Chain A
Amino acid sequence: MNPKESEKEVVIKADNVVKKFGGRTVLNGISLEIYKGETFVIMGGSGCGKSTFLRHIIGSLKPDSGKIYLLGKDLSTLNDDEMDHLRRKIGMSFQSSALFDSMTVGENVALGLKEHTKLDKSVRDIVVKMKLELVGLRGFEDLMPSQLSGGMKKRVGLARAIAMDPEIVFYDEPTAGLDPIVAGVIDKLILDLSKKLNITSVVVTHDMKSVFSIADRVAMLYEGRVLEVGTPDEIRHSKNEMVQQFINGSPDGPIKFFQQKDDYLETLVA
């Protein structure tokens, strides 16, 4: 079925995914393959559709056309129960952490286990301690999310994402809004988790430092299309001017900051 199957196992495959919101095309035919065990970074400017694409992979949004295969299953053919079953094999760390603020840190991490497994509370507590230890927050079980700093919330979100021992973990802007040191800690955590637990990581970010420190492969998205896919080195030495402009963060280049295409003068006068 898949020509590359002999080399590497494909766990996520997007095939010409198109999504429109109203009249605006957000995803304009994205095709990607992500292999088992790698850390795959999706980068691109704000509004390029990278978060939207992530939401398509985890099945919260459905594409207008095109297909997405997650762990070998075509998402468009799954019913709710099958989708839920598949979702137990993935974890997601959200941009805003999305911790349940009516629950303690420990309850947040334990929720998936409590709802989906028959584990005893004592066993669950041990698992929670282990996951919190992994993110360096052991002993914080009884705090409420509102008592934590932004970086700590992110790390609890991470612990929650890996609580069910997922095969794939998705990270939506894991370092956005954090100070450089905490961002470095999070990057190291993502690396550690994928190496220690051998999970596939898919990271959406526009933080260049973290792109080059964690990625095995990088995809650059622009206006809903994939500009280029490659290893960090290939991306760094890319001939594509847009990619170069993006990684160097220069204001002048083929990517225009102002997206209005109509004439500025005309809009001023009329």
Chain B
Amino acid sequence: MGVTVIVNFFAKIGSVVLGAWKGTVEVLGLLFDTIWWLIFGPLKNKFVKSDSIFHQMVFAGVGSLVIAMFVAFFTGIVIAMQSAYQLSRFGANIYVAPMVAISLARELGPVLTALVVTGRVGAAIAAELGTMKVSEQIEALETMALNPIRFLVIPRFLALLVMLPCLTILADLVGIFGGFLVGVFSLDLDPYRYITFSFKYMAWKDVWTGLVKSGTFALIISMIGCYMGLNTKGGAEGVGKSTTLSVVTSFILIILFDCILTGVFYFAGK
């Protein structure tokens, strides 16, 4: 009995590892196909319809604006208060300004926005494509000689790739404004000095590394959402499963790639 349990345990680990490996290969395959269609589709006179990209941009970008700004604003306030808690001991309250600006631009802006968008847009992508899959709509597209990647994946991919960095920049600004309110009204800092200090210590690199992260997250959210959606099996339960799985997988990958990219920028910048 004990041996079976151990064998089952390792079998379980093995199947999880194999499943993750297979998933990785297939997601990369989907990414490759997407990029292939993006480059060679237009050459074959098969353009992606601009109205469907626009529709997705409105849904992914404009639709996420309020919630993403809400998160960024309060995060800015929280960082300002938390860092003031430490910095006031040294009488260095004014350094709250660059602290808030840099931590938002490099880290919290891209990551928190990506997580919000995963929950809203990534889940919606997986659910919509999953429903289309189980109700034979994907197959219908194929029999009509319409490639699902060109028709469904690329508009979502492009929309997120454009809108997530845009949202991130706005989130950075709104977060900085949240910190500014704390600095001015609670820490009694001079508004003008606060703003000059914010941007004095912030380098161009802080912004573009944040945007590179945000672009990577857009890729993760759209690819995982589309992959889970297109591989949905078995009715309503399957759609629920794909949606959950796409959100969880995207969360993990966002955190993982955030760490990897931070490491790369840190060591490359030395």
| Residue among B44, B137, B140 making CB contact with A92, cutoff 8 Å | B140
A92 to B143, CA, bound (A): 7
Q: Which residues of chain B come closer than 8 Å to A80, judged between CB atoms?
A: 147
Asked if residues A111 and B144 are in contact (CB atoms below 8 Å), the reply is yes
Asked if residues A111 and B139 are in contact (CB atoms below 8 Å), the reply is no
Q: Does B190 contact A (CB under 8 A)?
A: no
Q: Which residues of chain B come closer than 8 Å to A87, judged between CB atoms?
A: 142-145
Which residues in B have some Cβ–Cβ distance to A below 8 Å? 44, 128, 132, 135-137, 139-147
Asked if residues B143 and A100 are in contact (CB atoms below 8 Å), the reply is no
Asked if residues A96 and B135 are in contact (CB atoms below 8 Å), the reply is yes
Closest residue of chain B to A92, judged by CB?
B143
Chain B interface mostly helix, strand, loop or mixed? helix
| Residue among B132, B136, B142, B146 making CB contact with A111, cutoff 8 Å | B146
Q: Does A126 contact B (CB under 8 A)?
A: no
Given that A96-B135, A98-B135 are contacting pairs, would A112 and B140 also be in contact in the complex, using a CB cutoff of 8 Å? no
Asked if residues B145 and A88 are in contact (CB atoms below 8 Å), the reply is yes
Asked if residues B140 and A116 are in contact (CB atoms below 8 Å), the reply is no
How many residues belonging to A are interface residues under a CB distance threshold of 8 Å? 26
Q: Does A85 contact B (CB under 8 A)?
A: yes
Closest residue of chain A to B135, judged by CB?
A96
Measured CB to CB, the closest approach of chain B to A121, in angstroms, equals 13
Asked if residues B140 and A98 are in contact (CB atoms below 8 Å), the reply is yes
Q: Which residues of chain B come closer than 8 Å to A60, judged between CB atoms?
A: 139, 142-143
Q: Which residues of chain B come closer than 8 Å to A94, judged between CB atoms?
A: 136, 139-140
Q: Does A115 contact B (CB under 8 A)?
A: yes
A94 to B145, CA, bound (A): 15
Measured CB to CB, the closest approach of chain A to B130, in angstroms, equals 13
Q: What are 22 pairs between A and B in contact, CB < 8 Å?
A: A60-B142, A60-B143, A81-B44, A83-B145, A87-B142, A88-B145, A91-B143, A96-B135, A98-B135, A98-B139, A98-B140, A99-B137, A100-B132, A100-B137, A100-B140, A100-B141, A101-B135, A102-B128, A111-B144, A112-B145, A112-B146, A164-B144
